[in-house]
Structure 1
Amino acid sequence: MAAKRTYLDWNATAPLLAEAREAMLSALSLPGNASSVHVEGRAARAAIDRARDKVAALVGAKPANVVFTSGATEAANLVLTPDFRMGRSALKVSKSYVSSIEHPALREGGRFAKDDVVEIPVTAAGVVDLDALAALLAAHDMTAGLPLVAVMFANNESGIVQPVAEVAALTRKAGGVFVCDAVQAAGRVPVSIEAIGADFLILSAHKIGGPKGAGALVSRGEAMMPAPLLRGGGHEKGHRAGTENIAAIAGFGAAAEYQLQNLEARVASLQFRRDRLESAMRRICPDVIVHGADGPRLPNTSFFSVPGLKSETGQIAFDLEGVALSAGSACSSGKVGESHVLAAMGFDPKLGALRASIGPETSDEEIDHAIAAFERLLARLNRQGAAA
């Protein structure tokens, strides 16, 4: 009999939804190229259009403003560029202002030169420092080009929700472009590109139960768009060349449609289970630090540190107990080490931290399994401390 496993790493990737799998299998049977004008081609195009409608609905956008990509990283590299167009006219963006807790795909700066990427600090609470951002934008040289600001809706490690509407307002006042990474938020909390006031949103299919290898850049309007990253044919209205991955896009659409249904009830269920896990951890280890617990967070995410427990040790120990969780972002080439998010919040960068992230299918029994694993881990840690 296989050992019992509990999956608490939904922020890294969510298991593929049955609805997404069925949509992908159906799309795989379509023989046509979506750029062809014959019946088979039009059927393939229709599958993409249906998915585009569903992804747009998830974030309150217009379907025409959804550009499909191979994932969130490609979407980030597409939009993080000095070269935009406003209609047919060139639009220069001179600097990118990126928060210090962003995902590596945005912290790298995309197509901006390293010297043109400016870091926005965060507070000890893990929230973007709005005063610092306002000062940076006030000092920006508009004669060189517009500022581009990139801040995530919710942090992928801590789950801490950022004041994105306020960031959007500051950026708009400065005449800049606001890019919001909504990868972790979409499908877990309500997301509206209009309510945020973002110019662009970045999305990923596999975070919401769709397939790996699909993502989207969603714009609020059609007039202002980044220069293409991939050039060639006129696919995606010329914004992203290459024959579309119809199956992955169809799965993305099905997942988006699923996540929009009964979202409020799922949020309450996720938060209840996360809070039960954290309450048990505090009972077992009163010294546990739950990062961001005093502010708004994603309902499914718990980012915690146990004094004396290294990230690597904790992750391996949980895995041996049959519990899959992570030591932060899963997008750093498998490396486990110091968290740039904790460092940005002012913690000792050597402080270990683990991320437990749950999903709608996480059961009470799985939460119990994780609690029992945590208790055994702490017992071993205490014995080792007593013997030292």
Structure 2
Amino acid sequence: MTTVTLQNLHKEFGDVVAVNGIDLEINHGEFLVIVGPSGCGKSTTLRLLAGLESTTDGRIEMGGRDVTTVEPKDRNVAMVFQNYALYPHMTGRRNITFGMKSSGDFTDEEIDRRVTEAADTLDIADLLDRKPDAMSGGERQRVALGRAIVRDPDAFLMDEPLSNLDAKLRIQMRAELARLHSTLETTTVYVTHDQTEAMTLGERVVVMNDGQIMQVDEPQVLYDFPENRFVAEFIGDPAMNMIPVDVKDGRAIHETFDIPLPSGNGQPKSNQNGAGDAQITDGQRAILGIRPEDLHLSDPQTNDELPTIDAEVNVREPLGDSLLLHCSIGNTSCNIQAEPRMPITAGETVSVTYDPARLHLFDAETGEAFYHSELRQSTDEQAPSKLTT
């Protein structure tokens, strides 16, 4: 059983703290994605797992074995790099088998069998006799994956393997990776800066920033119940709108609107960073979070009892399947995702309603979430809302 455990993991490069006290357990057979902006420490974390970087402090266990100081060749992990890392003078077959004799006790017959099985799994049998310069980007990435598969590792480590591919091929390769994982069921740690990749591939997703873990959860939970403002704005495209408000008598009050806050208790659980422990007193400043897809143009004929919000349209951005409106609510910028063929022009003022089950409040100082209007469906006991009125 290959579980991977990180305990208080630190990595410093001189005065730069790249990884700052990470605690994380990766389950056997899990596809875990680490996502975050450039410089957040995600690739450094992966290189620490591989043994390509030495830890400043902390402990790494794989399958219950302490591998913190173990050489990369003795960790039985396989890494897939962003730039493929194929030898240009070698054929696909030679690239796949390179190093197998030195890293394990493989016979020639076993190597041939593993190459054949990997080639069939990845549909690259016709690439085995080609050199990398005769392959497309997607074909090179499949060969790099084949090199990882033949070693039958305890864990796959993937460092942004799709970032060099065009958009159409990235979508295709995402599906290939998901299918490959369901076939092999090998513990996989996948690093990306693309939140779409993270949401579609990860069984769980780790969101990192400034060398720390912001939240670890299933993709839909990250989207529905972000534990802090960073996660709320990073997960989701377009990003969640953030509107400064005053909270008073169970209402969110802005210079241009005054809306009630339903009695939700979907607040996040506490994590190692303390998210979910924020509290607010009546009258304190807060940040109201509403996703663009949870704002809707008001229809007078529906007799909707919800309050409306006036928004001035600055820019309209047709996306084909939707219309993204860049607006101003008072002095605050926000985005609204509308139906694609709405006859709305820049400079127009529109009335907007909202989904009352999709409101979020964040502490104006710390950014921690303290209120979600939607009830989080869970078998765990939910604490009462920390909204004080």
- Whether TM exceeds 0.5 here: the answer is no
Higher strand proportion, which one? Answer: 2
When normalised by structure 2's length, the TM-score is 0.26
TM-score by length of 1: 0.26
Task: Name which one, 1 or 2, has greater alpha-carbon Rg.
Answer: 2
